[in-house]
Amino acid sequence: MADHVRKQIRDAVVTLLTGLTTTGTNVFASRVWPLNENDLPCLLVFATDEQSERRSMGGGYDRELNLVIQGIVRTAEATLDDALDTIALEVETVMNADRKFGGLASQSYLRATELTLDGEGDKPHGLIRLTYAVRYQTG
């Protein structure tokens, strides 16, 4: 049995995002990943929720997935916002280049962006959370 389309989409996004200038190979398909200093900066790719509607013709479901790409960085406080904006630019550029993830989805678009900064500890860290709406169908 093939993997759920949601997992296939998640895996396709991880592949698309692997090798970006800022995060390199530090791309993980999970929201819960034990991160250490060597893993940063990184991207986490995960789904938060999904709405489904039953198709009347032919059965199956039309689905809209909220897919989150979360960038995490630790750096000097003065450059934290710049680092998060660079991650956002790199992710958005790649995501805009393949909105259908090789045909797995009918479309995707950036729905929201959230930024969080934390000055606690020896180095400040920041999070950027890019939420994409991904529309796809299942049988």
What is the structure's pLDDT at 58?
77
Q: What is the pLDDT of residue 1?
A: 66
Confidence of residue 72 (pLDDT cuts 50, 70, 90): very high
**Tens-digit pLDDT profile for residues 87-128:** 999 999 999 999 999 999 999 999 999 999 987 767 789 999
Nearest alpha carbon to residue 75 among 36, 33, 41: 41
Res 33: pLDDT: 67
Domain 5-138 has CATH 3.30.70.1700: yes
Distance CA 35, CA 53 (A): 37
Per-residue pLDDT tens digits for 37-68 = 899 999 999 999 999 999 988 789 999 999 99
Spans of all domains in the chain: 5-138
Q: Is the pLDDT at 133 greater than 90, yes or no? A: yes
- Identify the pLDDT of residue 66: 98
Taking a C-beta distance cutoff of 8 angstroms, is the pair 46, 10 a contact?
Answer: yes
Nearest of 52, 72, 54 to residue 6 by alpha carbon: 52
Would you say 62 and 137 are in contact if contact means Cβ atoms under 8 Å apart? yes
Quote the pTM value: 0.92
Q: Which residue has the higher pLDDT, 33 or 5?
A: 5
